[in-house]
Structure 1
Amino acid sequence: MTCRIPNPISRTAVACALAFCGAPVVAEQVGCVTTEWKLIGSNHKVCVDSFSDPKVPGVTCHVSQARTGGVSGSFGLAQDPSQFSLACRQTGPITLPAKLPKEATVFAEDTSILFKETRVIRMWDAANNTLVYLAISRKLIDGAPANSISTVPVMPWGGR
């Protein structure tokens, strides 16, 4: 199960959503950089979040996303653009579960108040012993082709 994290209105809203969903994925904000200054409301920015794969210990992903500022962005009412990047790396010994699904959603975050989200899906490439992480933008009405990919080959860690 993966919880949908709402457009960042406040840490309290995220905590409530995580408690309600029983989420295995908790994204931590690494930081944000302003890309456009706004006279009224928050600035447009790009933020980087990190999360660990909930079913595969030893893998950490970082996703950067454009966030809309202004008055509507300050109140969490803006639709963020489908602009993001994804990087996943082995950060410890990887332990694959006995039954790893061929495909599973590992992270989802709303990018508008309704109908749009950024989702990260883990795929298993057994032929190459590689975990494939695909970030996509999903819209309920019109699909969006925006995507980003990162791969993590399953290899020994340290002396293991």
Structure 2
Amino acid sequence: MNRFRPFMAFALAMLPALAAPALGQTRVGEISTTFRLVGPNDKVVVERYDDPRVANVSCYVSRADTGGLSGWVGLAEDPSRFSIACRATGPVSLPAGLPQTESVFRQSASPLFKALTVTRILDAEKRVLVYLITSTKLVDGSPYNSVTAVPVETAAR
């Protein structure tokens, strides 16, 4: 039992961070997909995340949200099914010091150790920001992913 103590301490310390909503998240809408007799229905949720470091880039994520009794009390594990589309909502320019790869958003997808993560990748050669959404777990991830790209404005010549 003592050998599990460090793991349990880490797990308890991480719970608030995993349950916290991502910054800049706005729920745009939702559609019920499965009727549940007890608790809320299963649904597809659409949320908007504004890139915190690149002005005028908004990412729209659709994801499955498990309902029922376990979903209602917060114990359901949402499936790793999602899609992402990012768009320029105004002029897009690269801020100074933007890293080549950076985790932009993270949202819990289960009570323990599963999260959706959006990573921004800079394609400097083509002047494009690539956004990749994946599902991560403490032990293993998921092969499900989705990708989108937003062009960066080029200077007038």
CA drift of 1:5 comes to 6.2
Change (3 A) 1:66 1:120: same
Superposed, 1:120-159 pairs within 5 Å as: 120-155=118-153
- The aligned residue for residue 27 of structure 2 is 29
Q: Is the contact made by 2:28 and 2:46 (CA closer than 8 Å) also made in structure 1? A: yes
Distance 1:118 1:100 in 2: 22
SS at match of 2:116: strand
CA deviation map 1:66-91 (0-9, x unaligned): 00001000011100000000000111
Deviating beyond 3 angstroms after TM superposition, the runs of 4 or more aligned structure 1 residues are: none
Q: Is the contact made by 1:5 and 1:109 (CA closer than 8 Å) also made in structure 2? A: yes
Distance 1:71 1:150 in 2: 34
Superposed, 1:1-160 pairs within 5 Å as: 6=19, 17=20, 25-155=23-153
CA deviation map 1:96-115 (0-9, x unaligned): 11111001111110000001
Distance 1:76 1:98 in 2: 40
SS at match of 1:55: coil
Distance 1:96 1:126 in 2: 10
SS at match of 2:125: helix
Distance 1:27 1:143 in 2: 23
Residue 40 of structure 2 aligns to which amino acid in structure 1? Answer: S
Gaps of 5+ in 2: 1-15
SS at match of 1:128: coil
CA drift of 1:139 comes to 1.0
CA drift of 1:131 comes to 0.2
CA drift of 1:39 comes to 0.2
Distance 1:32 1:5 in 2: 22
CA drift of 1:155 comes to 2.3
CA deviation map 1:116-137 (0-9, x unaligned): 0000000100010000000000
SS at match of 1:50: strand
Residue 151 of structure 2 aligns to which amino acid in structure 1? Answer: P
- Which has the higher Rg, Structure 1 or Structure 2? 2
Q: Is the contact made by 1:42 and 1:69 (CA closer than 8 Å) also made in structure 2? A: yes
Percent of pairs identical after alignment? 49
